[in-house]
Chain A
C-alpha cells in the first residue's frame, strides 16, 4: 500500500446518479481497504461544480483536486460524455484520471470515451462479489501500481 495514498489521501469523486451502485461501490471500497474520502456527485453538473469549488466558496483552483474521477455515462442532465469532454478540455482538470464506470459494454461507448481522453473504462458488475473483485483490482492498479499526477501547490 502506498504511503501517499494512506497518509495524504486525496478524495475520489464518484459521478453517478444511482445510489445503489454508489452504496455497493463504497461498501466494496471499505472491504478492499480503500479508505480515501469519496465524494458523490449525483449529476454531471454537480461534479463540475464540486471541482470548481463553487459549492464550498473557495477560490477556483485552490481546492484540492481529486486523485481520480469515477464517471458514469448514463445520467440525467449532463451525461458522462459531456462531463468527460469538459474535464479533458480544461487545462487544470485534464490531468485527473477519469475512469468510466458504467453498465454499458457497447463498443461505440468504449471507443467514444477513450477518444475523448478517458483513462480507463470499466463495466459495473451485476453481482456484488464480482464488483468486489473489480474494485480490488482497481485499487491495486490505480493506487498501488500506477503513479497519479501530483498536485502543484
Chain B
C-alpha cells in the first residue's frame, strides 16, 4: 500500500539519518575522553537521541540503537558490550522522553519553566543514570575497565550524557519548533553582533589570555553572553550561545590551545563539563523565566486592551475617580453622553460633569463618606442631573461602586446612564396613560349614553306597542260605534229618510269602514317591523302553487294566469310573510292590467342575469299590465300611496300593499326594485338575504 510504504520509507530514512548523526557525533565525543576511552565528558548523541524520540516518537529507537552500537564497535569493544551500551543509550533516550511527556505534556518546548525543570530533572539528571549504569557496568564486566574506576567512570558518563541532554537536546528542540529566524533587521544585526562577540570574546580570552588576564575564569565567561541571548533571543539564543561557546572551548582544549592549555587536558575537560551543564541549565531557566515574564506582560497588556475595548463598547458611561474626585478613567460612552473626550477630562475633577448644585458639594460628599462611611449613593444608585460640555443638563442614572486598592488607595467607579429618552418615554407613557383614562371616561360616558339611548329605544318601542294597542282598541272602538250606529240608523230609519239622507248615511258608513281599514293597515305595518320572523325553509315553487289555489277565483274572474318558467329554489325565510309578498305582487300584476289575458310571471335569476345589483337569488314578478311611470317608482312603496288608475276602482285598496312588501323584504335583509314604464308592463325584483336568528 502506498501510504504504508511511504511511512516505512520515511521511517527508514529517519532511522538511518539518526544512526548516522549518532555515529558522527559520538566520534567527536570519543575524542573528548578523559577518564576512559569509552567515556567522554560531553556526549552529544544523548541529546540528539532525546530530541529524536521527543520529536518522532519512540519508534525511532532503532536509529539510536544502531548508531550507538556502531559507535561503540568502532572503539574496539566486544560486540556484546557494544550491544549492551547501545541498549543503555536507547533506554536512556526512551525513558527521558517518556518522563518529559509524562510530566510536561505532549510537546515540551522549553519555553516554560516547568518544561525546563522537567527536562533537567527527569531527562538530564535521572534518565542518564540508566545509560551510565548499564554502560559502566558493561565495561567493567567485560574487563575493559577496572572495577575500581567504576564510580569516576559512571560519574563522567552520567555528566557527559546530562551535558548532551542540556546542551544538544534543547538546541535541537528549540530550532526544530521555531526553525525560522523571523527577526527584524535590527534583530539580525544584534544576532550577528552576538555571534561576533562570542568569536571575538573567545579569541581574546583563549588565544590572547594575557590581554584580559582572566584566563582562569574562561569557562565561566559565557554568562554575560548567555544573559544577552536569553533576554534578546530566548531559548534558541541561549542554546546556540552555549553550544557555540563550549563547542569552541572544548575544541580549543582538545587542540591544546586556549587559555587553559597549560593545564592537563582531562582536567580542563572536566571543568568545562561542569560549566557546560551549569551554564546550560542557567541559560534554559533564564530564558524560560524571561519568556514567561514577557508572556504574562503580554497577557496583561492584552487583557488591558480587551478591557478597554469592552469598556469603550458598553453603552453606559463609566468613570473612575480617586478619593480627591479626580477622573482617572473615562470610557467612550461617556464621550457620547457628556460631549467631552477622555483627554479633556482625565486628571480633572469630576465636578465638571455636574450641575452647580452638586458640583459645589461633591468634595464634601466624598470626604463625608470617607469619614463616616455612610453611603448616600455608593451601592445604591440614584437619578441625577448631568452637565454636558455644551452646558445642557440631562437626566441620568448613576450607580457608584467603591474600589479599594492596596496601600489605602480608594477609587470610585461610576456607571452613568443617560435616561433622557427613558424620561421622554415615561413622559409619553404618562401622557398616553392620561389619554387612555380620558378615553375610558369618554367611553364610559358614551356607554352611559348608549345605555340611555337603548333604554329610550326600549321605551319608545314599548310606547309604539302601547300605541299599537291604543290604536287597535281605543281608536277602533268609537269607530266601531260610529259604524254600528250608522247601520242601526240605516236599519231603523230606512223608511223615514229620503234618498239623499240614505246616500249620505251610506257614504258615512263607507268612510268609517275605510278609516277602519287604514287603522288596521297602520297597525299591521307597525307589527311587521316589530315582530320576530318565523324562519323556515320554503320552497318558493310550492308557495306559488298554494297561492294559485288561494287566488283561484280572483284569477278566473280576470282571465289571469301565474306562470313559472323555471324551477324556483328553496329559501330560508318567514313563510307567511314571503307568501304575502308574492301574493301582493301577483295581485298587483293581475289587478293593474288591461290585457285580455293577464299574466304574472314569477322567476329566479342568478347574479349574471340580474340587473341593478350585485345580489344573488334575485326573484322577479313580471306582468303584462299597465306599467308604472318611472316618476312614481319610489312613491309606490310609500304607505297609503295610490296611483290614479282608470283600470281600477279607487275604492279597492288602501295603498299599503307594496309598503308591506318592502317592509317584509327589508326584514329579510333583501332589496326590492322595479323596472317599468307606462304601458310597458312591470317587473318587480326582490332578493332574500341571510336572516340573523
Contacts and interface: CB of A to CB of B under 8 A. Distances in A.
A105 B480 CA distance: 15
A20 B484 contact: yes
Contact of B477 (A27, A103, A105): A103
Among B474, B479, B480, chain A packs the most CB atoms within 10 A around the CB of B480
Dominant secondary structure of chain B at its interface with chain A:
helix
B469 A124 contact: no
Taking residues whose C-beta sits less than 8 angstroms from the other chain, chain B's interface range is 10 to 19
A74 B485 CA distance: 21
A128 B473 contact: no
A128 B484 contact: yes
Interface in A73-105: 74, 102-105
A103 B473 contact: yes
A16 B341 CA distance: 106
Nearest to B509: A127
B483 A126 contact: yes
Contact of B485 (A20, A103, A124, A127): A20
A127 B469 contact: no
A21 B483 CA distance: 10
Given A20-B485, A27-B488, A126 B480 contact: yes
B476 interface: yes
Given A27-B488, A126-B516, A127-B513, A20 B480 contact: yes
B567 to A, nearest CB: 36
Among A18, A24, A106, A128, chain B packs the most CB atoms within 10 A around the CB of A128
Contacts of A126: 476, 479-480, 483, 513, 516
A150 interface: no
Interface in B409-442: none
B476 A18 contact: no
B477 A18 contact: yes
A20 B480 CA distance: 8
Nearest to A107: B531
Taking residues whose C-beta sits less than 8 angstroms from the other chain, chain A's interface range is 10 to 19
B479 A128 contact: no
A106 B478 CA distance: 19
A21 B473 contact: no
Nearest to B512: A126
B472 A106 contact: yes
Nearest to B468: A106
Interface string A96-137: 000000111110000000000000000010111101000000
B480 A21 contact: yes
Given A74-B473, A127-B513, A103 B480 contact: yes
A24 B481 CA distance: 9
A23 B484 contact: yes
A103 B476 contact: yes
The 5 A-B residue pairs whose C-beta atoms are closest, nearest first, are A20-B481, A128-B487, A24-B484, A103-B473, A126-B480
Interface of A: 18, 20-21, 23-24, 27, 74, 102-106, 124, 126-129, 131
Interface of B: 469, 472-474, 476-481, 483-485, 487-488, 513, 516
5 contacts: A20-B485, A21-B484, A24-B484, A24-B488, A103-B480
